[in-house]
């Protein structure tokens, strides 16, 4: 049986073809999709296609071997995880900006961005309890505080995906490190292990500037030009000044009771010719450590001069 679908929704525009098929028919796996595209059982505009084809409005998708049992869909049920009211209150108080397309939260230290086998509550759990349409568009480590973007619809998710891929977003981090780098300002290019494949190496690029040193501590601004897991924590260790409170990459025990002193401090991007800039409020543990060690807060002017 042949069945035809027309792409009419703006949410489907620019979506990969295999992604569209999985959203439309949750029963399909990647192997089935690749096989049937290859055998030309599935075409676009009556032409042979590929799984990574980006859909356009008015595209005509033809499934020549359509069967409602094979091409079936079970709607994703809303998360049934019970979210304690205290987490909802903290999350709501962390929102610093919201419009119809996205919101920005100032994530607190100690909560994971995504769920996992040992994680009961994450930011992803919290946003899914509000709407299944809400999506994370980037990540922060559990102990990293600071700015996090949450898209509220598919169109916004795709837009932020493009912004990140095209490096059209400025991300500025502040860290307090143990030790002082050899160079006060530089760019670091190092390879790190791929989290998903230990045999694969990933190139990373990071700019940094030391804004203050005191008592063998450094107050540093980091600008990651790539976005890889633990990138800044690994770069800090590479520079000989691991971040205070980093139990994984800082094996010195002078400050092992401290929380991680890494904050996703500034986000800057442009959408529809409108410029957005957000600044994180440093968490209490960060401010207390700075006051105790007589470190000054890095100012926006210092960061702007570095940018």
pLDDT for 303 beyond 80? yes
| Model pLDDT for residues 178-217, shown as the tens digit of each residue | 999 999 999 999 998 877 676 788 899 999 999 999 989 9
| Model pLDDT for residues 12-22, shown as the tens digit of each residue | 888 899 989 98
| Model pLDDT for residues 124-157, shown as the tens digit of each residue | 999 999 998 999 999 999 999 999 999 999 899 9
Question: Considering only the top CATH level, what class is 169-306?
Answer: alpha beta
- Which CATH superfamily groups domain 3-63? RNA-binding S4 domain (3.10.290.10)
Sequence-ordered list of residues with C-beta below 8 angstroms from that of 202, at least 6 positions apart, any chain: 191, 192, 193, 194, 226, 228
Classified as helix, coil or strand, 104 is strand
Structure confidence at residue 77 as a pLDDT band (50, 70, 90): very low
pLDDT for 288 beyond 90? yes
19: nearest Cα among 68, 52, 61, 58: 52
| Model pLDDT for residues 275-287, shown as the tens digit of each residue | 999 999 999 999 9
Residues of the chain with CATH 3.10.290.10: 3-63
- pLDDT on residue 75: 58
Strand 262-271 to strand 145-151: parallel, antiparallel, or no bridges (unpaired)?
A: parallel
Angle between helices 123-130 and 85-94 (to 10 degrees): 90
- pTM, full prediction: 0.78
Pairwise CA distance, residues 222 & 154, whole Å: 31
Catalytic residue IDs: 141
pLDDT for 253 beyond 80? no
Residues of the chain with CATH 3.30.2350.10: 85-165, 169-306
- pLDDT on residue 78: 42
- Domain at 85-165, CATH from 3.90.226.10, 3.10.310.10, 3.30.2350.10, 3.40.50.300: 3.30.2350.10
Pairwise CA distance, residues 220 & 231, whole Å: 15
pLDDT for 240 beyond 60? yes
């Amino acid at each position: 049986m042949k069945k035809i679908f027309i792409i009419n929704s703006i949410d489907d525009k620019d979506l990969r073809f295999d992604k569209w098929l999985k959203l439309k028919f949750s029963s399909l796996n990647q192997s089935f999709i690749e096989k049937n595209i290859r055998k030309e059982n599935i075409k676009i505009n009556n032409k042979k296609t590929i799984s990574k084809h980006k859909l356009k409005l008015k595209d005509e998708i033809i499934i020549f071997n359509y069967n409602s049992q094979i091409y079936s869909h079970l709607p994703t049920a809303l998360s049934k995880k019970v979210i304690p009211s205290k987490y909802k209150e903290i999350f709501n108080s962390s929102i610093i900006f919201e419009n119809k397309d996205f919101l920005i939260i100032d994530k607190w230290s100690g909560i994971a961005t995504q769920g996992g086998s040992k994680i009961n509550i994450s930011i992803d759990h919290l946003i899914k309890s509000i709407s299944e349409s809400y999506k994370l568009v980037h990540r922060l480590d559990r102990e990293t505080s600071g700015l996090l973007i949450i898209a509220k619809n598919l169109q916004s998710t795709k837009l932020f995906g493009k912004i990140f891929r095209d490096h059209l977003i400025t991300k500025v981090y502040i860290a307090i490190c143990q030790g002082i780098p050899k160079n006060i300002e530089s760019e670091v290019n190092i390879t790190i292990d791929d989290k998903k494949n230990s045999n694969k190496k990933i190139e990373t690029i990071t700019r940094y500037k030391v804004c203050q040193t005191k008592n063998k501590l450094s107050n540093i601004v980091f600008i990651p030009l790539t976005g890889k897991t633990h990138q800044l924590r690994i770069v800090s260790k590479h520079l000989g000044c691991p971040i205070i409170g980093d139990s994984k990459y800082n094996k010195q025990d002078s400050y092992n009771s401290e929380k991680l002193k890494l904050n996703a401090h500034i986000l800057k991007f442009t959408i529809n010719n409108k410029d957005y800039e957000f600044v994180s409020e440093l968490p209490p543990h960060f401010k207390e450590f700075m006051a105790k060690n007589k470190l000054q807060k890095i100012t926006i002017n210092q960061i702007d001069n570095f940018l």
